[in-house]
Amino acid sequence: MNQQKSISGKDLDEAITSDDVLGKEVIDSDGRFIGITEKVFIHPTLLDFVGISVDKGFLKKGLSIGKDFIEKIGSQAVFLNISVAYEIKGMKVFDKNGKKLGKVSGIALKGSGNDIDAITLSRLTKKWIIPSKMIDKIGYNVILNVKEEDILNLEEDK
């Protein structure tokens, strides 16, 4: 086959193409499989790569991820350098003594980044907004640094 001509003025041997990104699994820093890359975003005037859009599967909302949160585009997957905050939805919430309080039903982020501002804790019909300063650890589930009584003293979210 004839070799493709190039007028890029640059060595493109090291470059990757959109085909190398699209359709790949996206894995976050905790090793969670987030979804599949479905779009590549490019700035219209600067022509820089801005980020990717991730298809999380049937009936799930997609997710856009800025390039600052991408660690590496591997040959078989895209690795992120963050644990995606939205993935904590549905996790169990424990107080500092390990008492189960409920589940995360909502997340509020700071601006358009990945930092959590607050989570919504749901237990049966009740809901509380828990500020991030009350969160000790987020791993397999959420562990707070306060006791259940402190949460019950918070105003309920109507």
User: By the criterion CB under 8 A, which residues form the site for another protein?
Assistant: 24-25, 27, 29-33, 72, 74-79, 91-92, 94-95, 97-100, 137-143
Q: Which is nearer to another protein, 107 or 143 (CB)?
A: 143
Return the closest-CA partner of residue 25 out of 72, 78, 70.
Answer: 78
Query: Alpha-carbon distance 41 to 143, whole Å?
Result: 35
Q: Which is nearer to another protein, 29 or 43 (CB)?
A: 29
Q: How far is the CB of 31 from another protein (least distance, A)?
A: 4
Q: How far is the CB of 87 from another protein (least distance, A)?
A: 9
Q: How far is the CB of 158 from another protein (least distance, A)?
A: 28
Q: Which is nearer to another protein, 27 or 52 (CB)?
A: 27
Q: Which is nearer to another protein, 89 or 137 (CB)?
A: 137
Q: How far is the CB of 62 from another protein (least distance, A)?
A: 20
